[in-house]
Structure 1
């Protein structure tokens, strides 16, 4: 694992730097593998990043967009991660509809939809059961409780070692989420973290020893590159 931690002066600088890193990773993936697969995060922090990407002229036919997790709500619901990304980015560019790969949230149950997306990813990436695909870029955030994607403290999703996608649970509300092993097979994982409220979680995530079941972001140890991009408010106590 090649780990980089950068603390940027403010949220604007965080977004500017994250844009640089994402574009560099996109270009490398397209150059090396002919396409770029990227999984998006929800929440407010990455939204300006998506808006910035939407303003660029990129080879959209070579970019495939996934989501690392999704709330179990209709695609047009205000809480939908897919809806946010479409409004901020995907609806504004000429990306082929076939290159957008949202998680299903309208099936028989969260478990059925999680299995459906697991099967879908295996088909898209041509991997057998027991194998894991290597997404080029996975964007993540953290919550004040140190969750990431929809991997929440002390939930069953943290125990999944052979699945690509599973059901996450936040206070009884189901989510669909990538598993930690799938995230850890990525070529590049990028955490975007802003705000002073994240300091306690970051202290535990970066501690020499702490319980990953209590602080799930500690589970993320990708085979490829790991980037932590933090604004000053979040990362000031991590600076040497």
Structure 2
């Protein structure tokens, strides 16, 4: 069985409790953003939805960053209006953007536009924007990250794409719940980010991560697509 603390495919940072986890992750994100702003005048980051990162985003918004120099977009999105409370855009707006005064947000879903056009616009935006200095990821108990779901009919196509974003139909994948249609960052798109953070809570998530490494099968455990990108190692922040 894989020992997570001694393998060299990513860096695992264990935190004593949720408060320490939130504080440390927010501080690291602020540091990456400030270094990017110092070097280039602006910074761009990609955020995930879900309840796990929401308190981190709230803490981050309170830190000393020139938010008017920060562009924000999403790692992935459900095929929902950005005004829908179940969308990732809504969570990011409520937990972060309403507190980080001046930060600019680029949603992945454009109201009134078909899915293919939204993906095209997302790719165009990504290709003509500053390279992301930071991407924040989560992982489901099925081993998915972003909207790369195991068993999806579109998984191979998304993984092999040379574009930053792809549409994905996760019909039949339990982890997608009632929102099978998605826009997701591809491994190619994720690889463009200078720093990647994976935020995990609970022992079960470490067990899934260990199972993924033991399987070495990125189709069964798509989280491996975020681990084995090369370049800067993925940083995994965990607390129970």
TM-score bracket, shorter-length normalisation: 0.7 to 0.9
TM-score by length of 1: 0.84
TM-score by length of 2: 0.84
Q: 1:210 aligns with which of 193, 216, 234?
A: 216
Alpha-carbon offset, residue 47 of structure 1 = 0.2
Does structure 2 conserve the Cα–Cα contact (< 8 Å) formed by 1:39 and 1:137?
yes
Alpha-carbon offset, residue 57 of structure 1 = 3.6
Give the whole-Å Cα distance in 1 for the aligned partners of 2:205 and 2:168.
21
Alignment of 1:58-137 (within 5 A): 58-96=65-103, 99-125=104-130, 134-137=131-134
Does structure 1 conserve the Cα–Cα contact (< 8 Å) formed by 2:34 and 2:65?
no
Does structure 2 conserve the Cα–Cα contact (< 8 Å) formed by 1:185 and 1:223?
no
Aligned length: 221
Which range moved further: 163-172 or 145-154?
163-172
Alpha-carbon offset, residue 29 of structure 1 = 1.2
Gap runs ≥5 in structure 2: 1-7, 173-179
2:24 matches 1:17: yes
Q: 1:142 aligns with which of 128, 131, 139?
A: 139
Report the 3-state secondary structure (helix = DSSP H, G, I; strand = E; otherwise coil) of the residue aligned with 1:16.
helix
Give the whole-Å Cα distance in 2 for the aligned partners of 1:58 and 1:7.
25
Alpha-carbon offset, residue 163 of structure 1 = 1.4
Give the whole-Å Cα distance in 2 for the aligned partners of 1:164 and 1:93.
26
Once the two structures are superposed, residues 49-94 of structure 1 have per-residue CA deviations (whole angstroms, 9 ceiling, x without a partner) of 1111222342112111111001111111111111111111211232
Gap runs ≥5 in structure 1: 126-133, 234-240
Q: CA RMSD in A?
A: 2.0
Alpha-carbon offset, residue 19 of structure 1 = 1.1
Give the whole-Å Cα distance in 1 for the aligned partners of 2:27 and 2:50.
20
